[in-house]
């Protein structure tokens, strides 16, 4: 990778404090630390405390580690669904979550929205034991609104609500009384090396997994929710985890908490606002997501059409590396991650360069 500013939506540019933390980690022997040591337990504990502060997680929620958000899709289906899950699908990643339910032999229902669109308020009925939502569809830059996410708990009190927040956290402020689980991977908004997924669950999720287990349903082996929680209570993991990744996460969440969730949110909104504004004013670029309330603040997608290569070339000569469009939109769109590691100054520079392209 050439030096410059990386705007690809994941793996993202590292959070600016990571280099220092890595150096310190190697000096302190973290990469060869036993996952059964007191020192590891205190790293786990510190990660939980930092995330709880940063994301304002209420008591009654537990934080466990998997290898990736992809793994968490699988574990959610295995542990929280006996027969039927209901998925809101509006892009490649929400679709993959749905497909995993099918692969695991569940009856998966989907409500679909067109690419680049969000959903109407849900007025139908569902028998799904799980409502699977993707807060931020990384492929298209569509975000679900908080009222949309929050409607399900009241309508379907027996269903569990799980939210994929892979490319949005730590930006969004979820109402944890309206959701049962939320998860992310660290290589996006948290700006860390890939190889770690973070799964946040409440007691209802644990109860569901225990109930499936007691009925004789196979819910996995080492990474069942009961097994993850049994170890989490000791600040340990069932298997040897990515110890270095957990250490780095603990450091970065504390850095972010010191800066403050509010400051991160304000900055994110400012950067999103100036980029969307520039796209709207542009001669030939425009925001891909038409409806303003559905536009992601953290993954901003530009419709660049036949100018895609030209724009990419100009940006790259200035050391700015945009993400390509996803899948079939590779050659006609550009995606810009707007994560906490991207400074206001970097975004202002990006906007200046983009606006000058005619």
Q: Which residues bind a second copy (CB under 8 A)?
A: 1, 3, 6, 8, 10-14, 18-19, 22, 26, 28-35, 39, 66-71, 73-74, 77, 99-100, 103-105, 185, 187, 192-196, 218, 220-224, 238-245
Nearer to a second copy, 112 or 324 (CB): 324
Pairwise CA distance, residues 341 & 294, whole Å: 23
Query: Minimum Å distance from CB 130 to a second copy?
Result: 15
Query: Minimum Å distance from CB 220 to a second copy?
Result: 7
**Alpha-helical regions (H) of the chain:** 18-27, 38-55, 69-80, 92-103, 146-155, 203-214, 225-232, 243-259, 261-281, 308-317, 344-356
Residue found under tokens 């959070």: 15
Nearer to a second copy, 242 or 296 (CB): 242
Query: Minimum Å distance from CB 1 to a second copy?
Result: 3
Query: Minimum Å distance from CB 341 to a second copy?
Result: 9
Contact 347, 338 (CB under 8 A): yes
φ, ψ of residue 262 to 5 degrees: the values are -65, -45
Nearer to a second copy, 59 or 214 (CB): 214
Nearer to a second copy, 93 or 176 (CB): 93
Contact 304, 237 (CB under 8 A): no
Classified as helix, coil or strand, 287 is: strand
Query: Minimum Å distance from CB 281 to a second copy?
Result: 30
Nearer to a second copy, 241 or 340 (CB): 241
- Of 7, 1, 91, 3, give the one whose Cα is nearest residue 312: 7
Query: Minimum Å distance from CB 71 to a second copy?
Result: 7
Contact 57, 51 (CB under 8 A): yes
Nearer to a second copy, 112 or 226 (CB): 226
Query: Minimum Å distance from CB 357 to a second copy?
Result: 24
Is residue 309 exposed (0-12), middle (13-18) or buried (19+ Cβ within 10 Å)?
exposed
φ, ψ of residue 182 to 5 degrees: the values are -145, 150
Pairwise CA distance, residues 156 & 204, whole Å: 14
Nearer to a second copy, 86 or 295 (CB): 86
């Amino acid at each position: 990778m050439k030096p410059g500013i990386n705007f690809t939506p994941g793996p993202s540019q590292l959070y600016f404090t990571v280099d220092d933390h890595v150096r310190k980690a190697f000096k302190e022997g973290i990469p060869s630390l036993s996952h059964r040591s007191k020192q590891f337990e205190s790293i786990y504990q510190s990660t939980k405390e930092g995330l709880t502060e940063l994301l304002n997680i209420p008591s009654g929620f537990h934080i466990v580690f998997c290898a990736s958000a992809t793994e968490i899709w699988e574990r959610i289906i295995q542990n929280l669904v006996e027969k039927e899950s209901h998925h809101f699908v509006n892009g490649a990643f929400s679709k993959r979550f749905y497909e995993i339910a099918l692969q695991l032999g569940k009856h998966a229902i989907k409500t679909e929205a067109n690419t680049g669109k969000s959903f109407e308020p849900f007025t139908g009925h569902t028998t799904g034991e799980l409502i699977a939502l993707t807060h931020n569809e990384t492929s298209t830059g569509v975000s679900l609104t908080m009222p949309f996410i929050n409607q399900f708990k009241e309508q379907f009190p027996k269903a569990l609500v799980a939210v994929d927040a892979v490319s949005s956290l730590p930006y969004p402020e979820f109402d944890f009384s309206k959701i049962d689980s939320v998860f992310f991977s660290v290589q996006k908004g948290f700006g860390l090396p890939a190889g770690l997924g973070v799964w946040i669950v409440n007691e209802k999720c644990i109860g569901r997994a225990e109930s499936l287990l007691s009925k004789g349903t196979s819910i996995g082996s080492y990474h069942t929710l009961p097994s993850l929680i049994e170890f989490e209570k000791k600040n340990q993991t069932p298997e040897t985890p990515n110890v270095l990744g957990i250490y780095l996460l603990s450091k970065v969440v504390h850095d972010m908490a010191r800066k403050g969730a509010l400051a991160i949110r304000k900055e994110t909104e400012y950067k999103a606002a100036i980029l969307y504004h520039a796209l709207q004013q542009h001669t030939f670029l425009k925001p891909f997501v038409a409806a303003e309330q559905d536009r992601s603040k953290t993954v901003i997608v530009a419709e660049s059409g036949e100018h895609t290569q030209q724009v990419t070339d100009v940006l790259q000569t200035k050391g700015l590396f945009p993400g390509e469009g996803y899948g079939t939109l590779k050659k006609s769109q550009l995606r810009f991650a707007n994560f906490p590691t991207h400074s206001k100054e970097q975004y202002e520079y990006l906007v200046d360069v983009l606006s000058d392209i005619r």
